[in-house]
Chains A and B, each alone.
Chain A
Amino acid sequence: MKSFVRRPVKKPPRPARRLGGLNKSALRTLEILAALADRRDAVGVTELSRQFGSTKTLVHRALGTLLEQEYAVRDRSGRRYEIGPRVLEFLDSGSPDPDISMMSLAAMRELNAISGESVMFGIPVEHGVTAVFGIDGRWPASGRIPRGVLIPAHASAGSRAILSMYSDEEIEAYIRQALPLKRFTSRTITDPVELRADIAEIRRLGYAFGRGDFVDSVRTLAFPLADADGRPHGTISVIFLAERFDQDNVTKRLPDYLDVIGRLQLELRCYFASSPVLTELPQI
């Protein structure tokens, strides 16, 4: 596999003063809230006024608003401020949580537009992955993984992308349970040593590559989707027909793919941070 360059995940936008037309004091208060959230220790009015180039009076007033709403609290000394526990309510709003597959749809459309190829969304189930929906490629003959088929954790790029998010102990447990690793094509990874090396490569690069290891005629680029704790939530795979696969072109466009996935990852990490759904590799 060629070594692709990974792009860093973008940080979410934070309040900025460049936003014209918005209420300045509200913006200042949001900025101070963000600054409190960034710190693990308490901070004083003087330090905040220096940081934001505001007068102590304005900072004090912003802190007063945050204290009133319990988004900030005073520390034990009573003179410094820290983020308030009410901010934790932002993690688990009672509003309906967006469905991960629907959140992924916009990113899948972008990947489909960039590659022209089919893009599939898969979720971790039992001891592998299953494709739940996809977007067809622009050509009449496009690669596709059938929906609802259980693909064992070692057997495709998508399933290995998910496997890579489990702990080493969990992966070893899977290997022990699944041995001998089932072969689907001549390229299926059936050697545990090779599987471990591939997992290490996926973790390093941020994506998995499949050379017809589950279906002979396709090449796959698969991206793991994790929550804030790195636990698996799904995978997005771009499915290329082998006859049309151009590695140089894929290498060239890879930063674009990773940019799309990076933005999706950021959103997923925010929305799925508080509820680490248990998706253990079960007994085979």
Chain B
Amino acid sequence: MPNHINASAGALFEVLRVIAGASQELGPAEISAITGVPVGRVQRALVTLERLFFIRRSEPSRKFVLGYSARSLGIDALKRFPLREAALPILRRAASASRGEATLHGRMGSCSLLLAKAHTQHSAIGSGRIGERTALHASEPGLAMLAHLGQNEVDEYVANCAVLRRADIRASLGKRLRTIRDRGFAVNDSPGGSDFVCEVAFPILATNAEPLGAVLLRFNRDVLPERKLDIVIAKGRAIVSDLTALVMRNPEDFAAPYGQLTQ
């Protein structure tokens, strides 16, 4: 471990990170197996984290899940994204219009970052986790943002991305980005090979046309009248344009954190 890092604190955050990312509650032995941190040190970290309410025991297993101090920190961090606050009512309208899910994605360097989601009782599709990061080229909201970056930034992104080194893949991506710019949205009507889920992403652009984020609508085609995608796209575009107008009116209020990060 590098000498600028404290070993105990490092182990504590390893434990916290594993609990935060787990799909189920975890006990000390399981955490030790995942992190490679000795059980004794895991136990001490768990005691500290539990006493500070960063984790809590889940009944009846007595294993650990996140506690409300951790959630509270997450809420504080979300306040750094003014776009999220402004977007929430719009997400609800968009979810309602598509009878599915609407999610807000920000940009963190070369990644798209899931910031908020709204869903209706029709939706059981699963749109990922808040804080989840995806490479820009690997999702519709990321593509919607990538398509509106300057050519230099796109070139740099492509150069740094190993999976985009093949010429045919780069050409295909370039064509895709042009289509997104022309249409004003990114669409994938069979994500993951599904024949009923559909995704449409609209970029949110600042006054200088820099992408601040994107709104993704994810819905089941079968709940649409006559499975008509055009209607959802038109409604989604109108709803997201309200958010864009708000951003344009008050650009200084919507400065995005992390936008320039390269990690």
**Do the beta carbons of A275 and B12 come within 8 Å of each other?**
no
Q: Considering the complex, give the chain B residue whose CB is closest to the CB of A22.
A: B48
State whether the Cβ of A8 lies closer than 8 Å to any Cβ in chain B.
no
Residue in A60, A73, A87, A228 with the greatest tally of chain B CB atoms within 10 Å: A87
- Within the complex, which residue of B17, B77, B96 is in contact with A37, where a contact is CB–CB below 8 Å? B77
A276: which B residues are within 8 A, CB to CB?
A: 88, 91-92, 116-118
State whether the Cβ of A27 lies closer than 8 Å to any Cβ in chain B.
yes
With known contacts A61-B6, A73-B263, A90-B66, A278–B121 Cβ distance under 8 A? yes
**Do the beta carbons of B13 and A15 come within 8 Å of each other?**
no
**Do the beta carbons of A94 and B23 come within 8 Å of each other?**
yes
**Do the beta carbons of B258 and A275 come within 8 Å of each other?**
no
- Within the complex, which residue of B6, B77, B131 is in contact with A92, where a contact is CB–CB below 8 Å? B131
Q: Which bracket fits the contact residues of B?
A: 35 or more
**Do the beta carbons of A91 and B131 come within 8 Å of each other?**
yes
Q: Considering the complex, give the chain B residue whose CB is closest to the CB of A40.
A: B80
- Within the complex, which residue of A76, A86, A229 is in contact with B260, where a contact is CB–CB below 8 Å? A76
Interface string of B65-84 (1 = CB under 8 A from A): 11011111111111110000
Bound-state Cα–Cα, A62 to B12, Å: 12
Bound-state Cα–Cα, A14 to B10, Å: 19
**Do the beta carbons of B71 and A266 come within 8 Å of each other?**
no
Q: Considering the complex, give the chain B residue whose CB is closest to the CB of A21.
A: B47
Bound-state Cα–Cα, A68 to B14, Å: 10
B53: which A residues are within 8 A, CB to CB?
A: 12-13
B24: which A residues are within 8 A, CB to CB?
A: 94-96
Bound-state Cα–Cα, A87 to B73, Å: 7
**Do the beta carbons of B6 and A87 come within 8 Å of each other?**
no
State whether the Cβ of B21 lies closer than 8 Å to any Cβ in chain A.
yes
State whether the Cβ of B130 lies closer than 8 Å to any Cβ in chain A.
yes
B74: which A residues are within 8 A, CB to CB?
A: 87-91, 273-274
List A residues 51-96 near B (Cβ within 8 Å): 60-62, 64-66, 68-71, 73, 76, 82-83, 85-96
State whether the Cβ of B148 lies closer than 8 Å to any Cβ in chain A.
no
Bound-state Cα–Cα, A172 to B135, Å: 43
B189: which A residues are within 8 A, CB to CB?
A: none
**Do the beta carbons of A38 and B76 come within 8 Å of each other?**
yes
List B residues 16-37 near A (Cβ within 8 Å): 17, 19-25
A47: which B residues are within 8 A, CB to CB?
A: none
A270: which B residues are within 8 A, CB to CB?
A: 68, 71-72, 75
**Do the beta carbons of A91 and B80 come within 8 Å of each other?**
no
- Within the complex, which residue of B17, B70, B96 is in contact with A278, where a contact is CB–CB below 8 Å? B96
**Do the beta carbons of B71 and A29 come within 8 Å of each other?**
no
Interface string of A27-59 (1 = CB under 8 A from B): 111100110011010000000000000000000
- Within the complex, which residue of B4, B47, B65, B80 is in contact with A83, where a contact is CB–CB below 8 Å? B80
A93: which B residues are within 8 A, CB to CB?
A: 19-22, 65-66
**Do the beta carbons of B8 and A86 come within 8 Å of each other?**
no
With known contacts A62-B6, A276-B92, A278-B96, A228–B52 Cβ distance under 8 A? no
With known contacts A19-B51, A83-B77, A85-B113, A278–B92 Cβ distance under 8 A? yes
**Do the beta carbons of A95 and B25 come within 8 Å of each other?**
yes
Bound-state Cα–Cα, A65 to B130, Å: 23
Bound-state Cα–Cα, A40 to B256, Å: 11
Bound-state Cα–Cα, A15 to B73, Å: 12
With known contacts A23-B9, A83-B80, A90–B65 Cβ distance under 8 A? no
Residue in A73, A90, A266 with the greatest tally of chain B CB atoms within 10 Å: A90
State whether the Cβ of B225 lies closer than 8 Å to any Cβ in chain A.
no
Q: Considering the complex, give the chain A residue whose CB is closest to the CB of B129.
A: A92
State whether the Cβ of B233 lies closer than 8 Å to any Cβ in chain A.
no
**Do the beta carbons of B66 and A13 come within 8 Å of each other?**
no
**Do the beta carbons of B117 and A65 come within 8 Å of each other?**
no
A229: which B residues are within 8 A, CB to CB?
A: 88
**Do the beta carbons of A91 and B21 come within 8 Å of each other?**
no
State whether the Cβ of A26 lies closer than 8 Å to any Cβ in chain B.
yes
A-B contact pairs, 21 of them (CB 8 A): A14-B69, A27-B52, A29-B6, A38-B76, A64-B4, A65-B5, A68-B13, A73-B258, A83-B73, A85-B108, A88-B131, A92-B129, A93-B21, A93-B65, A95-B23, A95-B24, A96-B24, A228-B75, A273-B71, A278-B120, A280-B96
Known: A73-B261, A88-B77. 5 other contacts (CB 8 A): A19-B51, A25-B6, A26-B12, A92-B129, A274-B117
